[in-house]
Amino acid sequence: MNSLKQLFIVIIVAVLIIFQFLFISIQVFHKTITKSTIEKSINEVDFVEILKQDNDENPLTPTKMDQIYEIAKKGNISTESVDNLIRSNGVKKLINTYVNDMIDSTLTNEGKKVTPEQLQQQIVEAVNSATDQSGIPLSDSTKQAIITTVSQHNEEIFTLFSAPQSVSSVIDTQSIDMLRFLFSNELMLLFIGIVVGLIILLIFLTHSYYQFLFYHGVSLLITAGISYAFSHTITSEVFLSSFSTNASLKQFLVVIYPTVSYEFVRYSKIFLIIAVILLLVYFVIYYWQHIRSLQKIVNHEE
């Protein structure tokens, strides 16, 4: 019977470790996919080089950059101007706004927040900023041609960028629903309910009001160790190599890795502190109970 009870306790501790690590992973993901992180990643990604890569294994297939050059020809815009525009801070700011809007609308199930008027204003600001930054003198007529061309083909141009496209069309409905659930308060309540339920099971199995502190402390300690180890594993070249076929995703992951690693380490420290506190409380209560038992024995003998 004791062996069966110990087996159940081991299973409960293992389940606690799994759910606690899942909780950390979700929180890290939630904190990583933020507007500031996306903005940082977009600022560091060279979209020109990304878009110049072939769409498939056929070298004759036009790249995404070729399609943008084709659009630019309609406004008599040179390829050099296009490259400078895409690499400019103004255009990256515009892309950042668009990507964040797509992510918000996907995860919150709300419509686009950027109105056509706002988009038009951002296009004008992006073109002006890009031309000023590039140092290439452009006449007002050329600037207007760029603004007009981008305005007329903004949806066509933006869908060439893999980040917003991946949110709206690559991820299926079930996956989007799952992402929404991962960021929901319902999931947090579910995690709390599961942990509380497992603790109640430990109390029932150990017939002790404090012994669960030891087992929960051990589970937190192991979770902290796994989280710390994962913070180094996830940033390794082995993990990076799995995304080598998708250059844009790989560049994005390279940018967010420091944040991901930092968050895993931070949560491992938090869980370690909580584990130490629970274990200290357990041993204090344990030795206090032990001392009381000894005193009762001594008093009984007297």
| Predicted model pTM | 0.64
Token output for 64:
């995404």
**Residue 298: count of CB within 10 angstroms of its CB:** 9
What separation in angstroms does the CA of 45 have from each of 50, 103, 202, 252, 293? 8, 18, 50, 7, 67
Summarised one tens digit per residue, pLDDT across range 164-218 is 444 444 444 555 566 677 777 788 888 889 989 999 999 998 888 889 999 999 9
Give the phi and the psi of residue 61 in degrees, each rounded to 5.
-70, 130
Q: What tokens appear for 280 in the block? A: 């200290």
pLDDT tens figures, 8-62: 999 999 999 999 999 998 888 877 776 666 677 677 767 777 667 655 555 556 6
pLDDT digits (tens, 9 = 90+) for 73-114: 776 777 877 777 777 777 777 777 766 766 666 665 555 555
Can you say whether the dihedral through the CA atoms of 209, 214, 219, 220 is positive or negative?
positive
Give the count of beta carbons closer than 10 Å to the beta carbon of residue 102. Answer: 20
- What CA–CA distance (Å, rounded) separates 302 from 300? 5
